[in-house]
Chain A
Amino acid sequence: MLIPHPLLGPRDAQEFTYLGDARLIDRPDSSAPDAEAAFCDYVFLRDNPAGVHRELWFHEQGDRSWLVVTRDTVTHEVLGAELARNVPLSRTRCGK
């Protein structure tokens, strides 16, 4: 596969390490009253859809950036990729 790196252009997937569901970015608030249940979901429950999925990939043999790649798990079509660090920042900016 080729991963369209937002800074470096298309790069062979062999340069990357795969992690999985991009929801891992949303680490729960440990001080919330339901923290344990929220962490349980966070650690053990992952989406694994047949279709469009947002996933974390690490450019280990490259610039060491974590990317959020949007990929169709059925066709392997990659619909986009962005730097993971920009994802939580924009979320904070949106005030969510």
Chain B
Amino acid sequence: MSDLRPITALGAALPRLASFGALEIRENGGLALASLVLRRGTVEPTPFGLTLPGPGRCVAGQGVAAVWTGLDQWMIEAEGRAELDFAAELKQLAPGCSVTEQTDGWVAFEIVSRAGSRPLNALLSKLVNVDLADFGPGRATRTGLEHMTCFVIRRGDAHIAVLGARSSAGSLWHALETAAKRLEER
């Protein structure tokens, strides 16, 4: 085991956590990510027992989830496995598919509301141009957020995750924090 110490996307030893009114934003440093793409003629796999979702959707299993990211292409997430070689593990479970390690390509912010979906929707309406009437649990999309390309994943009625490029983690945090603070002030 290497003795090198990792830092979070926001440049600290520990993930950042902050609350704004009913909203809590948590940097999810432990989330392992790998993309999975079908090759020509491969059979759609069911890694970790996940039935890969269709366009605009996500599915979750026991500590794992799959998000549709493009035609024949998904992002597979695994909680708490960032320090493992998750891509290698996925590759075993998806024979004949292209698998690319993505864990450090992204920063994941988990946003949870203690007051139901309302504050979350209010926050989203300030950040992304998504029709929230059609964005319940099980939906996920990639879209622009303050000029950054992000995945927005509806993990639950009162829980979303925003994944953005790791290098712009600071700008993404600023965008989320600013919007959340303004809701709190209202």
Q: Which residues of B line the A interface, CB within 8 A?
A: 55-56, 69-71, 73, 129, 141-144, 149
Are A14 and B142 in contact (CB-based, < 8 A)? no
**Majority SS at the chain A contact face:** loop
Are B55 and A7 in contact (CB-based, < 8 A)? yes
> Number of A-B pairs whose CB atoms are under 8 Å?
32
Query: Known: A7-B55, A12-B129, A14-B129. Is A65-B70 also a contact (CB below 8 A)?
Result: yes
Give the shortest distance, in Å, between B48 (CB) and chain A (any CB). Answer: 23
- Separation of A14 and B143 alpha carbons in the complex (Å): 10
8 A-B pairs with CB atoms under 8 Å apart are A7-B55, A7-B56, A8-B141, A14-B144, A15-B143, A60-B149, A63-B70, A64-B70
Are B129 and A65 in contact (CB-based, < 8 A)? no
Q: Is A78 an interface residue (CB 8 A)?
A: no
- Please name all residues of chain A whose beta carbon is closer than 8 Å to the beta carbon of B144 when the two chains form the complex: 14-15, 61
**Majority SS at the chain B contact face:** strand
Are A62 and B129 in contact (CB-based, < 8 A)? no
Select one of A15, A63, A83 contacting B69, CB under 8 A: A63
Are B55 and A65 in contact (CB-based, < 8 A)? no
- Separation of A61 and B142 alpha carbons in the complex (Å): 7
Are A62 and B55 in contact (CB-based, < 8 A)? no
| Cβ-closest chain A residue relative to B70 | A63
| Cβ-closest chain A residue relative to B68 | A63
- Please name all residues of chain A whose beta carbon is closer than 8 Å to the beta carbon of B73 when the two chains form the complex: 63
Select one of A9, A63, A83 contacting B142, CB under 8 A: A63
- Separation of A85 and B71 alpha carbons in the complex (Å): 11
- Separation of A54 and B135 alpha carbons in the complex (Å): 31
